[in-house]
Amino acid sequence: MRITLLLILVLLLIHFKLFAQFQYGVRMGVNLSNVKGLNSSAETTSTLVSPNVGFFGQYSFSKKFFLNTGLQYNGKGYNTQYIPSGSNTISTDYISIPALIGFNASQTIEFMFGPEIGYLVKAKSKAGSTQMDITSNFQKIDFGLDLATKINFSKRVGMEFSYSYGLTKVETYSVYVNGIQYFSSVLGNNRAFQIDLFYKFKK
């Protein structure tokens, strides 16, 4: 009986210790995004500003290293200007899951790096007052690498700056001649600079 009680006590202590190493919170901010490598001489692209919002969990392996993950809505895309005239906005909505390894440089500054996977929910094109659903023109899954810096203003509030480098070709580029598809290829990689405010809940 004493051995059983001792074992239960040890397991409880381990549980509380692990729980004490886990933090969670919410984040929101803006994405400055573009798609690089579309390879079209008929258009130029520029940065699109979109929102992002989500929640995160952070598990500490030690005093210096941790794992940061979560679930986040990410607005991405780009603005385009066709030659000789005409402009368009391509916006894409992703649900993203990062898995970043972090390093505590100090109590104030943390650095993170790792992969991110995004699932495309919707893509649309807007030219003036005309909108079109172009979800079928994009790949559903987007893989990328994230590099981030977190600045803790207090134990709960801080700001995060991150850059997401897309590895997956995301947009289908097609050429039609007399209504017949002559050529089709998947081009372009997502790029996004993110600025977020975050709030950590009490442990």
103 occurs within a structural domain: yes
pLDDT above 60 for 156? yes
50 occurs within a structural domain: yes
6 occurs within a structural domain: no
Residue 38: count of CB within 10 angstroms of its CB: 19
Task: Output DSSP code: residue 139.
Answer: -
175 occurs within a structural domain: yes
| Residue closest to 59 by CA, chosen among 25, 9, 82, 87 | 25
What's the chain's length in residues? 203
Q: Which of 20-29, 53-62, 175-184 has the lowest mean pLDDT?
A: 175-184
**Residue-level pLDDT at 177:** 47
Q: How confident is the model at residue 87 (pLDDT cuts 50, 70, 90)?
A: confident
**Residue-level pLDDT at 38:** 75
**Residue-level pLDDT at 16:** 46
Dig out the tokens for 13 from the structure: 């202590």
pLDDT above 80 for 31? yes
pTM of the full structure: 0.82
Average pLDDT over residues 146-171: 94
153 occurs within a structural domain: yes
Q: How confident is the model at residue 176 (pLDDT cuts 50, 70, 90)?
A: very low
**Residue-level pLDDT at 182:** 47
Is 170:130 a contact under the CB 8 Å cutoff?
no
Could you give the CA distance from residue 172 to residue 118 in angstroms, rounded to a whole number? 17
12 occurs within a structural domain: no
Could you give the CA distance from residue 101 to residue 202 in angstroms, rounded to a whole number? 22
132 occurs within a structural domain: yes
**Residue-level pLDDT at 187:** 81
What domain range is 180 assigned to?
Answer: 25-200
pLDDT of 113-127, one tens digit each?
Answer: 999 999 999 999 888
Looking up residue 183, the CATH number of its domain turns out to be 2.40.160.20
pLDDT of 43-83, one tens digit each?
Answer: 678 899 999 999 999 988 888 899 999 999 999 999 887 65
In the chain, the number of structural domains is 1
Q: Which of 25-34, 61-70, 173-182 has the lowest mean pLDDT?
A: 173-182
177 occurs within a structural domain: yes
187: which strand partners?
171
Could you give the CA distance from residue 82 to residue 97 in angstroms, rounded to a whole number? 34
**Residue-level pLDDT at 60:** 86
